[in-house]
Amino acid sequence: MSAVLGGLWSVESSFARLTALAGDTVRILPGFRPETALVEATRTSLVLGAMSGFLLPGTSPARFLVGLRRLPPAPPDTFARAAQAVLNALNGPPEKDLAALQALGESDQPLVAGMASQLGSFAWEGAGDLDGALAAARRSLAAFERRGSAWLRTAAHAQVGELCLQVGEAGSGDEALRHLSAALSVAEAFGAWSTANRVREAIVGANVLRGAYDEAERELKLTTPHGADESWEMSMFDTTMHAEIALGRGDVDTGLHLWRTAATTLRDTRRPGPGGDVSRLDPWALQVQATAVVAHAHHGRLCLVAEITGALPAALSALTADPGPPPGTLAASYDLATCGSLLLALAMTDIDRGQHAGGSGFARSGARMIALAGRTGGRRAVVRRGRVVVRGPGPGGPARRRPRGAAGAGQRQWLRFGRDRACGIDDRLA
């Protein structure tokens, strides 16, 4: 039953249900000794549990991996068997695991190569190497085109499309649109409407990136808005995209008004702390606050978002004060990109202050924070061709966990430097 439900909810992008299922089965499946007739169903359940643990906040994948290693080996000729072969190789530090994924990505077994490359793409993306993540995603798609189900190819198309949006290079919007459209056609054919909605949202972003605002608007009308109480969703996404479309068409007043509406609504519904403290907001809400600031800075109207700019230094300080959020929290999935976006917003604020106050110190501080934001993913998260485009979790689901080990620790040190710089801004103004 858990194999059937897990497969169904994976196709439907029912992340809350997948997390709950992993929590319900983590104490049962790893120690289960199945009879021969139940080995494959058990293998599939353990694989889905481990994948949920790697990609979603919630249950750790460790116990599921232990259960997989207790099952008898089998030729990697199905999704579950190939995934087991790949997951069984992940038992060391991050650097060793990445090397293992790269080696398995060269396997002559297409399913093994595809699964290893797809997991490697997630790992590289989490470590901030978008070029490496995109290359791995393309290898995954090529492998699944040799052998793999329609859904595996759909997942690979969606990953390539999402990463093209994040890279933001010349022509990447067109490539993203091709891959996302391929994923959308299969999701709709499967009747996986929640997944189709997520992919269509990414298509809206691709059209905005391409400057195809009429197409973006048409696609946006076909999406289903998310509720503010849906913890996995990007509430106010439609408003942020309408804001971008308006700005792209030159209607600055409407675009900035919509950005303020989105930011204010998320602050009100997510109940920030006393005194306007926004550090308690979830990562998506914080991304919207930061992007709203950047949009207003780009058009010289930071005075309209003074409430947000005044709260940013404290929010960044709170997010970087500790080594990192506890594993399994949503903040652990998204904190580096969120901090990068906050840094970019602070940098734009600093540069604006320098222009009005005439001090070179502000300009230097802003330039350094922009460079720092680029190292954490913040700049690519919110800037496109000198303008702002909001970025959030892709069609595959919520953002992945923050990388552990050397890469994550190094970025965390850079973020602490940025926090000190950000707090120094307000000290100079006091």
Q: Which residues share a beta bridge with 387?
A: 384
Please check the confidence at residue 343 and state whether its pLDDT lies above 80. Answer: yes
For residue 73, what pLDDT is reported?
84
- Are both 328 and 181 inside the same structural domain? no
- Are both 335 and 404 inside the same structural domain? yes
**Domain membership flag for residue 243:** no
- Are both 315 and 389 inside the same structural domain? yes
Please check the confidence at residue 252 and state whether its pLDDT lies above 80. Answer: yes
Work out the pLDDT band at 385, boundaries 50, 70, 90.
very low
Q: Which domain does 177 fall in, by range?
A: 170-223
- Are both 335 and 190 inside the same structural domain? no
Mean pLDDT of 5-27: 73
Please check the confidence at residue 389 and state whether its pLDDT lies above 50. Answer: no
Distance CA 400, CA 393 (A): 9
**Domain membership flag for residue 135:** no
For residue 329, what pLDDT is reported?
32
Residue in 241, 318, 236 with CA at minimum distance from that of residue 284:
236
DSSP state of 29: S
Please check the confidence at residue 140 and state whether its pLDDT lies above 90. Answer: yes
Residue spans of alpha helices (H) in 127-236: 130-146, 150-167, 172-190, 193-210, 213-221
- Point out the domain boundary residue: 204, 223, 242: 223
DSSP state of 403: P
Please check the confidence at residue 350 and state whether its pLDDT lies above 60. Answer: yes
| Greater model confidence, 4 or 110 | 110
- Are both 317 and 407 inside the same structural domain? yes
The number of domains in the chain is: 2
**Domain membership flag for residue 344:** yes
Residue in 101, 69, 62, 14 with CA at minimum distance from that of residue 327:
62
Please check the confidence at residue 363 and state whether its pLDDT lies above 70. Answer: no
Please check the confidence at residue 77 and state whether its pLDDT lies above 50. Answer: yes
- Are both 323 and 398 inside the same structural domain? yes
**Domain membership flag for residue 218:** yes
| Greater model confidence, 255 or 354 | 255
pLDDT digits over 95-134, tens only? 788 889 999 999 999 999 999 999 899 888 877 788 899 9
- Are both 283 and 430 inside the same structural domain? yes
**Domain membership flag for residue 328:** yes
Q: Which residues share a beta bridge with 383?
A: 388
For residue 244, what pLDDT is reported?
94
- Point out the domain boundary residue: 223, 253, 284: 223
Please check the confidence at residue 412 and state whether its pLDDT lies above 50. Answer: no
**Domain membership flag for residue 177:** yes
- Are both 283 and 388 inside the same structural domain? yes
Report which listed range, 164-168, 186-190, 312-316, 381-385, is most confident: 186-190
Indicate the burial class of 129 (C-beta count within 10 angstroms; 0-12, 13-18, 19 or more).
Answer: middle
- Are both 192 and 311 inside the same structural domain? no
For residue 409, what pLDDT is reported?
33
**Domain membership flag for residue 281:** yes
- Are both 289 and 194 inside the same structural domain? no
Mean pLDDT of 171-196: 90
- Are both 219 and 280 inside the same structural domain? no
Tell me the CA distances in angstroms from 102 to 17, 124, 132, 264, 299, one per residue in order: 31, 11, 11, 44, 44
- Which residue type is seen at 427? D
Contacts of 175 by beta carbon, 8 Å cutoff, 6+ apart: 160, 161, 164
**Domain membership flag for residue 155:** no
Residue in 170, 151, 169 with CA at minimum distance from that of residue 159:
151
For residue 273, what pLDDT is reported?
52
Instruction: Kindly report the average pLDDT of the chain as a whole number.
Output: 76
Residue 409 has, within 13 A of its CA and on its CB side, a CA count of 4
- Point out the domain boundary residue: 193, 223, 253: 223
- Are both 308 and 190 inside the same structural domain? no
CA angle 242–243–249, rounded 5-degree value: 90
For residue 9, what pLDDT is reported?
64
